[in-house]
Amino acid sequence: MKVIGYLESLDIENPESLLNLDLPTPEPGPMDILVRVKAVSVNPVDTKIRKNTKPNPGEPKILGWDAAGIVEKIGSKVQHFKVGDAVYYAGSLTRPGTNAEFHLVDERIAALKPQKLSFEEAAALPLTSITAYEALFDRMNVLVNDQEYLLILGGSGGVGSMAIQLAKKETRLKVIATASRASSQEWCRKLGADIVIDHNKDLHQQLREHGIDTVKYIFSTTHSDVHRESIEKMIAPQGTFCLIDDPPNFPINGFKRKSVGVHWEFMFTRSMFETPDMIKQHQLLTKIAGMIDRAEIQTTINHIFEGMTAENFRKAHQMIESHKTIGKIVIKF
């Protein structure tokens, strides 16, 4: 089968950074479904792993976690799917990625794709939907009837775009999103943000200009270290802060006097450790598919590359590394 992978960690401008390769088609284990991949999306985690994870000698590293496709084979213990089902999912960091013609995934982290979406539209959803939902409801324990403020740092990115929609649909929170450009600010407003402020300016001052001094919930999707001092000022006493990025230095001592709850969200935890509640990601993606089909939320796809080629994947990685993307980048096979 055809795959896109790399043999050494290189700068994305290097034509050897991602390669067109061939590998044997894998066979499903007892809990696996084998998916003929129709589309994948590219996420910041792809670029981080490419830059920081060296493959084993002679073994290509296959990236990619979001995918949508058709079930080709099922394992002996699979209960939720049959051959021919259209599915979508975000895979596991402990297994080869989705940038391949065929891909194995544990059925507990996959779901039937939204009926009203194409494969490419569906491929934009899993990783960001799971991350946003888990951050809001599993980590921050947001109260659905709470009429407080939620501040989302990086509102126009893939995760921020889903967090805005889920917070507006599933809770009574008033959502503040940050975005720096006119186009990204408008994107946040269209998704439902009540207030949009510029993360390149003084965040606390901008909140005060809206008559807001502190907020109960802050969800940071990027550059958490850059905004740490502002976050300490803006978070309410006994508030909750959640981040998903990997700041090199992020001391949390400043949160002590406010008794702030600090959480990291990592959507791969359940699949990586095969936690007893691993099936929750199947259930969550099923819920998201229903919300999409009822037009309660929308896909956040914003750019499509046609064709499974290393060149297209390099272009997608370059866009991600520019830190100027809006929504999701998808590659249609």
Name the nearest CA neighbour of 98 among 321, 293, 271: 271
Report the b/e string of 194-225 with b at 16+ CB within 10 A: bbbbebeeebbebbeeeebebbbbbbbbbbbb
Q: What is the CATH number of domain 2-125+274-332?
A: 3.90.180.10
Chain segment 220-261, per-residue pLDDT in tens: 999 999 999 999 999 999 999 999 999 999 999 999 999 999
Q: What is the pLDDT of residue 10?
A: 96
Name the nearest CA neighbour of 73 among 35, 39, 106: 35
* Per-domain boundaries in the chain: 2-125+274-332, 128-264
Q: What is the pLDDT of residue 323?
A: 87
Q: Residues 110-122: what's their mean pLDDT?
A: 98
Domains 2-125+274-332 and 128-264 share a fold: no
Residues of the chain with pLDDT > 90: what percent? 98
Q: Scanning the structure block, which residue is given the tokens 């520019």?
A: 322
Residue 98 has pLDDT above 90, yes or no: yes
Name the nearest CA neighbour of 128 among 331, 332, 326: 326
Chain segment 13-62, per-residue pLDDT in tens: 999 999 999 999 999 999 999 999 999 999 999 999 999 999 998 899 99
Chain segment 124-139, per-residue pLDDT in tens: 999 999 999 999 999 9
Q: What is the CATH number of domain 128-264?
A: 3.40.50.720
Report the b/e string of 44-56 with b at 16+ CB within 10 A: bbbbebbeeeeee
